[in-house]
A and B are shown apart, each in its own frame.
Chain A
């Protein structure tokens, strides 16, 4: 069952200087015809370089921005018509939002639990504050918390209403590695136990690769790739090679230049990147010409490489 269906979602911002009466407004296409679905119990990553349209998309999904065009359906119901009913089953957390700073942690969560009409709210608040290891801070004002502690309180808020869909905008940013691991484990457990679906944005590629079932790659407001983390990585045919050369440095350089492969030296170590398919042939050729190496490491591409490839193309354009 599809928890979320997004059809042709578009957001254009018009920019017109009021004092230039005859000028035509310039249109910024922040999100341009994006369509995707999130199934029950699925964790979907929304990735892309800065300005790709991730935040604008999540804001439209939360109803804080009105789309220029397109449809958003949660649980097969139109978001426009059933806003309150839908948002009572959805929640979100972001590393870039805050809660009223002069209120305590408990007071803030109490207010949100009341808004979501959570049953046994005190027990539920206690459970999640303990889960995210901020129980001891319950009587502290938000302004006295570190950014990592604030992030954990916001995560506790996100789970208060038994959400069927969670929208998480860099939920582990500013968390120390130990807590970040715990949070990731917790998210995966929630997915398995309660079939909670998640839409996840993050710049931590290893994290995305670890927890997402599927990744949607946005660039300049459009979806440019959509696949499993492994599927996306497989689209890259390049591999990184590191070799420790014991003999034939000059010959190797000559061969790499001939094949137009750029390389870098660090003492006896050489680093270069090339198409996966030609590696066996290349190794045979250089060995044949007298190049000897004591160690070789072939690094398969990962999600970060895919991201860099996309970001690189973006810069060239």
Chain B
């Protein structure tokens, strides 16, 4: 795995944010909504007290962490489609970039978001 190539792919998508409001909102608006919604729900349950509430709280925390996994998968799918739409996939696959590096960079990008 070559970190420079992973960084290059992350930069490629960060450049994309600069020019696309839709990609920008997709990266910040929905994760922010998730955090606010599940955060407030957790706080409400926590204030209620009780043992059952703790189980629900645990489930909600799991749900928030699941978002990280989901984000990683989402980034790979959407960005693969983006490369296909922009007819850039052949150019990318013909570079020294490996599939593992490409997936890692997108997963990292999803995690950052």
Chain B stretch 73-96: residues in CB contact (< 8 A) with chain A:
82, 86-88, 90-96
State whether the Cβ of A255 lies closer than 8 Å to any Cβ in chain B.
no
Beta-carbon contact of A103 and B16 below 8 Å: yes
Beta-carbon contact of A114 and B5 below 8 Å: yes
Could you tell me the distance between the alpha carbons of A114 and B15 in the complex, rounded to whole angstroms?
A: 13
State whether the Cβ of A283 lies closer than 8 Å to any Cβ in chain B.
no
Chain A stretch 80-120: residues in CB contact (< 8 A) with chain B:
83-85, 87-88, 90-92, 94, 97-103, 107, 110-112, 114-117
State whether the Cβ of A141 lies closer than 8 Å to any Cβ in chain B.
yes
Beta-carbon contact of B15 and A111 below 8 Å: yes
Beta-carbon contact of B94 and A63 below 8 Å: yes
State whether the Cβ of B20 lies closer than 8 Å to any Cβ in chain A.
yes
Beta-carbon contact of A101 and B86 below 8 Å: yes
Which residues of the partner chain A approach B90 to less than 8 Å between Cβ atoms? 59, 62, 64, 94, 97
Contact of A87 among B16, B82, B95 (CB under 8 A): B95
Which residues of the partner chain A approach B9 to less than 8 Å between Cβ atoms? 111, 115
Beta-carbon contact of B88 and A100 below 8 Å: yes
Could you tell me the distance between the alpha carbons of A91 and B5 in the complex, rounded to whole angstroms?
A: 16
Beta-carbon contact of A98 and B88 below 8 Å: yes
User: Secondary structure at chain A's binding surface: helix, strand, loop or mixed?
Assistant: mixed
Could you tell me the distance between the alpha carbons of A79 and B93 in the complex, rounded to whole angstroms?
A: 14
Interface size, B (range): 20 to 34
Beta-carbon contact of B5 and A83 below 8 Å: no
Could you tell me the distance between the alpha carbons of A114 and B92 in the complex, rounded to whole angstroms?
A: 12
Closest chain B CB from A277 CB (angstroms): 48
Could you tell me the distance between the alpha carbons of A116 and B98 in the complex, rounded to whole angstroms?
A: 12
Interface size, A (range): 20 to 34
Which residues of the partner chain B approach A59 to less than 8 Å between Cβ atoms? 90
| CB nearest neighbor in B for A94 | B90
Beta-carbon contact of B96 and A116 below 8 Å: yes
Beta-carbon contact of B16 and A62 below 8 Å: no
State whether the Cβ of B113 lies closer than 8 Å to any Cβ in chain A.
no
Closest chain B CB from A110 CB (angstroms): 7
Beta-carbon contact of A115 and B86 below 8 Å: no
Beta-carbon contact of A141 and B19 below 8 Å: yes
Interface residues, chain A, CB within 8 Å of chain B?
A: 59, 62-64, 83-85, 87-88, 90-92, 94, 97-103, 107, 110-112, 114-117, 141, 157
When A and B form their complex, which 6 residue pairs have the shortest distance between CB atoms, in order from nearest? A114-B8, A62-B94, A98-B87, A84-B96, A88-B96, A100-B86
Interface residues, chain B, CB within 8 Å of chain A?
A: 2, 4-5, 7-9, 11-12, 15-16, 19-20, 82, 86-88, 90-98
8 A-B pairs with C-beta separation under 8 A: A62-B94, A90-B94, A100-B86, A101-B86, A103-B16, A114-B7, A114-B11, A116-B96
